[in-house]
Structure 1
Amino acid sequence: MRIRVDLSYDGGPFSGWALQPGRRTVQGALEEALELLVRRPIRVTVAGRTDAGVHARGQVVHLDLADSEWHGMARGQELDPAVAMTRRLRGALNRVLGDLTGAVQVRGITPALPGFDARFSALWRRYSYRIADGPALWDPLERAFTLWHKSPLDVELLNQGASRLLGLQNFLSFCKPREGATTIRELQRFEFARAEDGAIVATVQADAFCHNMVRALIGSALYVGEGAVEPGWLYERLLAQKRDAKSVLAAPHPLVFEEVAYPSASELLARAELTRARREH
């Protein structure tokens, strides 16, 4: 049976989500903890892979268990298997993480609906990116998840440039393409706003993201916000369809995977099949 796990994590101490030999990753820690529970290797599928240093509040993964493994989570106690697995997985994660206890948190565990796939059933993913533009806004207590930008940024210019990139586009200029994978994505939201504390928060939402896409979009937009280039420069970069010296990645530590959305139960399988077909062509 398929299980859905909702997670949040501090990406600072990890070399990204995905497994890497000899490196501490979020996937590696989670799968090691799961193996402690079921006494066999477990492979998970994630909604959105994050780079080294990138955080998550609303990450979702799925994994497959035998019925006996699921119902055995309660160890004979009168507990809902979801409650029992949540408690046990949190404990196992603490054992695996050691001095990083608390860096990965299990928010909830539920039996997945028929047809659910954490990656391919998703309708969209949403990220946030926090920027303090000027020393007056630099708070040492928030430095681990805020970009300290030396010069002031014009939010209106940022939004003028960002709005031109919305829609179904080829984001090759803003991606590190993987061999055989498409770089066509539907960018649904790309906007900047001042928070109550004066910092700028960017919101970036798309059906899916290519490798490094969010950081590349933010990094390029900073040139516009500074007034170094015209807002239309971002669209010119999009049309150029190439990565070059002007392709700059924003720092990873202010980036947060906030949320992933899924369709109604009756549409989960169809959505997964459609997405797979798109990604394969």
Structure 2
Amino acid sequence: MIRLRLDLGYDGTDFSGWARQPGLRTVQGEIEQALGRILRLAEPPALTVAGRTDAGVHARGQVAHVDLPVEAFSALDRNHRRSAGAEPAAALSATDPVAFPAGHPSVPFPAADSAAGFLAVEPVAAGAVLPLDVDERLAALLRRLAGVLDSDVRVHRVCVASEGFDARFSALSRRYAYRVSDAAGGVDPLRRREVVWHNRPLDLDALNAAAAHLLGEHDFAAFCKKREGATTIRRLQRLDWVREDDGVLVATVVADAFCHSMVRSLVGSLLSAADGRRPVEWPGQVLGRAVRDSGVHVAPAHGLCLEEVSYPPDTELAARALATRRVRTLGDDPPAVDEP
């Protein structure tokens, strides 16, 4: 098996969220089906994602990984040979011996060195088309994904994952952006799928003052949909707002992980404090009660976008994944499991 890392983005408008669901169009389902088709697998492979997103939520910097059998890549070699016009009798399979030193870029992976340092000593048949090397296979896979997937989901990069990498559990943090317009005339129609219109004027200073009460490690039960056996303790590392030149207000939200509906609930409470319906202190008071508050309205999904997932250096990936798997209690050092 080989683990691949996929960096991807999508417009969530026409998806029923990330997670695969029978009879529904989801991001996970679309990519898994595409991989299964391209690599000619009997069953689509299973993707593991850094953070599941709800229906309508977008992503610009989503990360996933997938474990695939190495022999699956022979499908890419077959396409390569056909495009090169190779005769079937002259074409090499992905496992045929090749007379190149181990590590040579023309050697198929994984390289299984012999005692002599060669994969084999058989000569390559005259006119044969060599199998693609690792980088060529990954580049071919990326191109095929672009051709098979619909235009509202794009895989930007595919690479062999570093040892110990887990898209979900190795992550240090997730960074989201939430975009709101309070323009009297509404949202620019060309941005209607990513910017929410708020029909009351918003005070930027009030947004940031209210957000300051939410920073740090807390039990965010008041802003999460509780799930059986799942902790709602999170460390909110950043939550601040800016008004861009076009007047759109953008919140940057960073945490070690997020529980279900947390970001949109936080935004909903802050908007109430910034348009005068609630005092600036109200979101912090709700947080302190640690119970779901009916006054907190979940902001619309389409204003939310996963912008970035950050990871530690390669040497720390495995340790980070191990630590993250622990369900923590308040005050523990290891980060919380991401419960989307």
The offset of 1:3, in angstroms, is 0.4
Looking at structure 2, the residues matched to 217 and 40 of structure 1 have their Cα atoms a distance apart, in angstroms, of 43
Which residue pairs with 2:231 in the alignment?
Answer: 182
Q: Find the aligned partners of 1:190 and 1:137 in 2 and give their Cα distance.
A: 25
Higher relative contact order (CA 8 A, sep 6+): 1
The structure number with the bigger radius of gyration is: 2
Pick aligned residue for 1:48 from 48, 51, 54 = 51
Q: Deviations over 1:200-246 (max 9, x none)?
A: 01111100000000100001100111122222111110011111321
Listed as ranges, the matches of 1:30-49 within 5 Å are: 30-38=31-39, 39-41=41-43, 42-49=45-52
List alignment gaps of at least 5 residues for structure 2: 82-130, 328-335
Spell out the pairing of 1:75-224 with structure 2 (5 A cutoff).
75=78, 76=81, 78=132, 80-93=136-149, 101-136=150-185, 138-224=187-273
Higher strand share: 1
Q: Displacement, 1:67?
A: 2.0
% identical aligned pairs: 50
- Cα distance in 2 for partners of 1:220, 1:165 equals 11
TM-score computed with the length of structure 1 as normaliser: 0.93
Deviations 1:44-91, CA, capped at 9 Å, x for gaps: 000010000000000010000122224653435546121011112222
Measure the CA separation in 1 of the matches of 2:74 and 2:214: 48
1:64 counterpart letter in structure 2? D
* Alignment length (residue pairs): 273
Do the aligned residues in 1 keep the contact of 2:38 with 2:75 (CA within 8 Å)? Answer: no
TM-score by length of 2: 0.77
Separation of aligned partners in 2, 1:176 and 1:246: 14
Partner of 1:23: 24
Structure 1 stretches lacking a partner, 5+ long: 94-100
In the other structure, the counterpart of 2:65 is 62
The structure 1 residue matched to 2:313, chosen from 264, 276, 279, is 264
1:6-56 residue CA offsets vs partner (Å, 9 max, x unmatched)? 111010001100111221111111111111123232000000100000000
Determine the C-alpha separation between the residues in 1 that align with 2:77 and 2:246. 45
Partner of 1:235: 284
Q: How many angstroms apart in 2 are the aligned matches of 1:273 and 1:89?
A: 31
CA deviations on 1:158-186 (whole Å, 9 max, x unpaired) are 10110111111110000012211111111
- Rounded to whole Å, the distance in 1 between the matches of 2:5 and 2:77 is 17
